[in-house]
Amino acid sequence: MERKLIIAIDGPASSGKSSSAKILASRLHYVYIDTGAMYRACALCSLKRNIDLNDLSALTFMLADIRIDIRYAPDGNRLILNGEDVSERIREEDISRLSSQIATIGVVREKMVDLQRKLGEQGGVIMDGRDIGTVVFPHADIKFFLVADMKTRAKRRWIELEAKGLDPDLAEVEQEMIWRDKNDSNRAIAPLRRAHDAIEIDTGDLSLDDQVELLHEHIRSLQQ
Ligand code: CDP
């Protein structure tokens, strides 16, 4: 029987992580875990409870009983926060920014990393995020680091927002992304960084099919 791998995909926003991970997970019959969604859920929880992110004791209290469940589904996983399906709400732009802020905080990361390790340790998993190959699973079987130039990534996010019926401004989307890249790359704990043994793939000029095929080839070569 084929060994169940741990596959790590890291990279900045809209570099193609989640679109590749979803398709690969369904091809390989693996579970897809979007760790960004977990930080987004923490951010939403803090917002709902009106918690000041500087108030470490309030945050610690919130984390003690936070329940983040992933309901796996072929047409897209659902994220359940304390019993409520928040899958759509966590994708809104206020939560993008707040998740990047809350993700700088040590107690938050400790709790999320712990959860992520429990979810992935059995293998048969594709996990995407910013620190999967560096911190969560430094011994992952295979690591990818996806990149793309800023204009391409901003355009992708803009298209996504438009498809949701919003009226996004491309320059604003780009500014938000520049801010978030900087915040994610410069934080003290688990900054966005390519693991030394990660395969870097520039998705800027690749179609989704080509991108997925390229990752799949690397995975296949490992399984032979
Ligand atoms: O989907 P998008 O690429 O815009 O972001 P995401 O993957 O949903 O992640 C949202 C935020 O969570 C990021 O900007 C990071 O600050 C944080 N994050 C993190 O710190 N570590 C991870 N493993 C995943 C996300």
> Cα–Cα distance between 119 and 57 in angstroms, integer?
26
> Cα–Cα distance between 50 and 221 in angstroms, integer?
49
**Neighbour-count burial of 192, counting CB atoms closer than 10 A to its CB (0-12 exposed, 13-18 middle, 19+ buried):** buried
Q: pLDDT (tens digit, 9 = 90+) per residue, 158-195?
A: 999 999 999 999 999 999 999 999 999 999 999 999 99
**163: amino acid identity, one letter:** A
Q: pLDDT (tens digit, 9 = 90+) per residue, 81-92?
A: 999 999 999 999
What residue ranges define each of the domains in the chain, with the CATH number in brackets?
6-212 (3.40.50.300)
Q: In the predicted model, is pLDDT for residue 74 greater than 80?
A: no
Q: Which of 35, 46, 115, 173 to mutate to test the pocket of ligand 1 (most atoms within 8 A of CB)?
A: 35
Q: Which of 99, 109, 176, 193 to mutate to test the pocket of ligand 1 (most atoms within 8 A of CB)?
A: 99
Task: Evaluate whether 129 touches 13 at the Cβ level (below 8 Å).
Answer: no
Q: Closest Cα to residue 68, out of 82, 50, 56?
A: 82
Confidence class for position 101, pLDDT limits 50, 70, 90: very high
Nearest CA to ligand 1 atom 2: 13
